[in-house]
Structure 1
Amino acid sequence: MWAMKMLKKDWNEAADQRLNGLNELDEFPLKAYESSAIYKYNMKQYHDQRIEKRESVVGELVLLFNYKLRLFPRNLPSKWTGPFLITKVFPHGAVELDNKESARFTVNGQRIKIYLGHAESVHEVVETYHLDEF
């Protein structure tokens, strides 16, 4: 009470000032959430502009990414196998591939890349590097 008399404020004015301070504290997380949502939206737009859109075509030769490689094998095999022939493209991004033994299987479209070799030389691409040579 003596502090209120020192500041020469009345009780109503002090209560209003306290409520305004509490309201500002409640608004702070909302502003932080809004600015974080705006930042995420802008980053998504920036990222989506730089994504290369790839569309697969039936009859195209592609290489398949082999993600099941051992960490430290004696020989370093290539990460890509193939070429494979695309037989069907699904609307959700999956692709059906056909190998030289006519075995068909479905893979994610992000695991393939276009084969730039000659179409008549459809064989298994095998690159091996021997560690003993170094």
Structure 2
Amino acid sequence: MDMSLASEKRLLKLNELEELRYDAYENSRLYKERTKRWHDRHIRKKSFKVRDKVRDKMLLFNSRLRLFPGKLKSKWSGPFTILRTTPYGSFKLEAEGNKFMVNGHRLKLYHCNDQVGMIECMRLDPPDPKPLS
């Protein structure tokens, strides 16, 4: 085999590999742009006012507290009262005299339901068999 021919083939293979890398990079960049556009379109703006009652996602240092372990444990703690808002989306909260700052993405409104609803029971009896005629 001729050495110049082998080196030329090797150079062509390297160029082809470089083109494949460039195409993969472009596809990855396009995918990331599309994903970012979709994500930005589906972000819900949360607006809270001072004195609103909110709930907070469990804080990381509270995650070891196992008062009610298992799947059914609520991931939300609260309610907390908003004392102050910042222009960057963080909030100063208060609960039982403790004050702390939290990112707004960790909050949701606390809906207080003071009224206890009535529970209605219905008895479901099997239907009477029809007489044969």
Structure 1-normalised TM-score? 0.61
Partner of 2:29: 37
Task: Please list every run of 5 or more consecutive structure 2 residues that lacks an aligned counterpart in the other structure.
Answer: 115-133
Q: 1:62, CA displacement in angstroms?
A: 0.6
More helix by share: 1
1-structure distance, mates of 2:36, 2:110: 30
1-structure distance, mates of 2:81, 2:101: 12
- In the TM superposition, what whole-angstrom CA distance separates every residue of 1:48-82 from its partner, at most 9, and x where no partner exists? 211212122222111122241539738x5433222
Paired-residue identity, %? 42
Partner of 2:40: 48
Q: Does 1:89 align with 2:81?
A: no
Partner of 2:50: 58
Task: Please list every run of 5 or more consecutive structure 1 residues that lacks an aligned counterpart in the other structure.
Answer: 5-11, 122-134
- In the TM superposition, what whole-angstrom CA distance separates every residue of 1:73-101 from its partner, at most 9, and x where no partner exists? 38x543322221111112332211012x3
1-structure distance, mates of 2:67, 2:36: 33
Measured at CA, do residues 70 and 37 of structure 1 come closer, stay the same or move farther in structure 2, by a change above 3 Å?
farther
Measured at CA, do residues 105 and 21 of structure 1 come closer, stay the same or move farther in structure 2, by a change above 3 Å?
closer
Aligned length: 108
Q: Does 1:24 align with 2:16?
A: yes
